[in-house]
Amino acid sequence: MEHTISVTAQAERKVTDTKSVPFGKVPTEHMFMAEYKNGQWHHAQVVPFHDLTLSPLTLCLHYGQTVFEGMKAFSMEDGSINVFRMDKHYDRFNKSLHRMCMPPVPEKLFINAIKELVSLDADWVPKDADGSLYIRPFMIATEDRIGVKVSDEYLFMVVCSPAFQYYTKPLRVKIETTFVRSAAGGTGAAKCGGNYGGAFYPTSLAREAGYDQVLWTDSVHNEFIEESGTMNAMFVIDNVLITPELSGTILDGVTRDSLLAIAREKGINVEVRQISYNELIDAFEAGRQVEAFGAGTAAVVAPIATIAIGHKEYNCYTEPDALMFRLQKELYDIRRGIVPDTHGWNNII
Ligand code: COI
């Protein structure tokens, strides 16, 4: 299979003040695209960013056969550019594609697409310590047909956008016990568009009630924590880092995985297991110190200040010495080359 990527660069568009723009609103100058047809990938190319033309019959518009990834490139201390944990993102992308009956992307094509694109748009990688270039690989089903079927044609694309803090203040979240994000055997572990669209309604109700996000619970007992909005959920109770296991209903988060590895390395007690909201109530009521945070590529570490469980609100520990901030700092420092990358997570391009 041929994976040569043609590059058509456009005259430089000035990098504007991207810090004040909401997450994901400003694309960089170029994008990558490749078409899948007759069982093969064709026309792999980096081109100036432009709108797509799609037939109203296009399958993805009707049946949600879409998958995406979210990864980041960082400006290193020495001026080089680092795309963080490309292999893990690639692996998850293909697992999601498999679940959604979509063709795998060859590893070389995925890696080279990102390398070519990020190198060409390198000026868009923020130099600020809290900035990064958000990289969004995605695939959509493009066959023109409204009959319900697995598409025979696809478009694999990568777009980028400078990113800063996703959440600007500690979150207020609500334990969700009415609606569920996913159930055993469903698509909860896949990064497919429908998982996010389906979360909008419960999240909008939570917002109306004064919360930023929901903390999803399991579909059987509505009791065990799953994940939160765009992030995995993590807790620190009496210095033990606790996060739900990968049961198949939550996303195998790359930030989750990185924070767990860093915590273990630092000798912190880590428990990957079910955690119920009743356990949280017991901890709060007993006056124990509870940290809660979301972990995700876009959000990195998003502290949770308040958790509403039923009609009662509980306050979490968010002081600067909280464990979550120490883990976050280590992650930042690895990604920017301030401390050694002993895991082989960095990909200097
Ligand atoms: C990410 O953290 O990369 C995500 O995909 C979450 C969100 C921006 C959809």
Tens digit of each residue's pLDDT (9 = 90 or more) over 271-286: 999 999 999 999 999 9
The ligand 1 atom at the shortest distance from the C-alpha of residue 69 is 5
Q: How many residues does the chain have?
A: 349
For atom 5 of ligand 1, which residue has the closest CA? 70
39 pLDDT more than 60: yes
With cut-offs at 50, 70 and 90, classify the pLDDT of residue 11. Answer: low
In the structure encoding, which two tokens stand for residue 29, read together? 């100058």
The ligand 1 atom at the shortest distance from the C-alpha of residue 136 is 3
| Residue-level pLDDT at 7 | 85
Residue 218 Cα distances to 52, 183, 188, 210, angstroms: 38, 7, 11, 23
Using CB atoms within 10 A of its CB, is residue 289 exposed (0-12), middle (13-18) or buried (19+)? middle
| Residue-level pLDDT at 2 | 53
Is the Cβ atom of 296 under 6 angstroms away from ligand 1? yes
From ligand 1's centre to the CA of 215, what distance in Å?
A: 16
> Backbone dihedral region of 96: left (phi > 0), alpha (psi from -120 to 50 degrees) or beta?
alpha
The ligand 1 atom at the shortest distance from the C-alpha of residue 296 is 2
From ligand 1's centre to the CA of 163, what distance in Å?
A: 11
For atom 7 of ligand 1, which residue has the closest CA? 230
Is the Cβ atom of 297 under 6 angstroms away from ligand 1? yes
From ligand 1's centre to the CA of 297, what distance in Å?
A: 6
Is the Cβ atom of 82 under 6 angstroms away from ligand 1? no
Is the Cβ atom of 298 under 6 angstroms away from ligand 1? yes
293 pLDDT more than 70: yes
3-class DSSP string for the chain = CCCCCEECCCCCCCCCCCCCCCCCCCCCCEEEEEEEECCEEEEEEEEECCCCCCCCCEHHHHHCCEEECCEEEEECCCCCEEEECHHHHHHHHHHHHHHCCCCCCCHHHHHHHHHHHHHHCHHHCCCCCCCEEEEEEEEEECCECCCCCCCCCEEEEEEEEEECCCCCCCEEEEEECCCCCCCCCCCCCCCEHHHHHCCHHHHHHHHHCCCCEEEEECCCCCCEEEEECCEEEEEEECCEEEECCCCCCCCCCHHHHHHHHHHHHCCCEEEECCCEHHHHHHHHHCCCCEEEEEEECCCEEEEEEEEEECCEEEECCCCCCCHHHHHHHHHHHHHCCCCCCCCCCEEEC
Contact 166, 299 (CB under 8 A): yes
Of 230, 231, 250, 293, which is best to mutate to test ligand 1, by the most ligand atoms within 8 angstroms of its C-beta?
230
Of 30, 31, 83, 32, the residue nearest 337 (C-alpha)? 83
Of 297, 300, 301, 331, which is best to mutate to test ligand 1, by the most ligand atoms within 8 angstroms of its C-beta?
297
Q: Is the dihedral of CA 321, 324, 328, 330 positive or negative?
A: positive
| Residue-level pLDDT at 256 | 98
In the structure encoding, which two tokens stand for residue 302, read together? 């998003």
The ligand 1 atom at the shortest distance from the C-alpha of residue 298 is 2
In the structure encoding, which two tokens stand for residue 61, read together? 């518009």
Does the pTM surpass 0.85? The reply is yes
Is the Cβ atom of 70 under 6 angstroms away from ligand 1? yes
For atom 3 of ligand 1, which residue has the closest CA? 70
Arithmetic mean of pLDDT, 316-328: 97
CA distance linking residue 192 with residue 233, whole number of Å:
19
| Residue-level pLDDT at 20 | 78
Percent of the chain at pLDDT above 90? 89
For atom 9 of ligand 1, which residue has the closest CA? 230
For atom 8 of ligand 1, which residue has the closest CA? 298
| Residue-level pLDDT at 8 | 82
CA distance linking residue 201 with residue 171, whole number of Å:
18
Tens digit of each residue's pLDDT (9 = 90 or more) over 60-94: 999 999 999 999 999 999 999 999 999 999 999 99
The ligand 1 atom at the shortest distance from the C-alpha of residue 255 is 2
* Domains by residue range for the chain, with CATH: 6-164 (3.30.470.10), 171-335 (3.20.10.10)
Tens digit of each residue's pLDDT (9 = 90 or more) over 306-320: 999 999 999 999 999
Is the Cβ atom of 230 under 6 angstroms away from ligand 1? yes
For residue 237, list its beta bridge partners: 240, 290
With cut-offs at 50, 70 and 90, classify the pLDDT of residue 193. Answer: very high
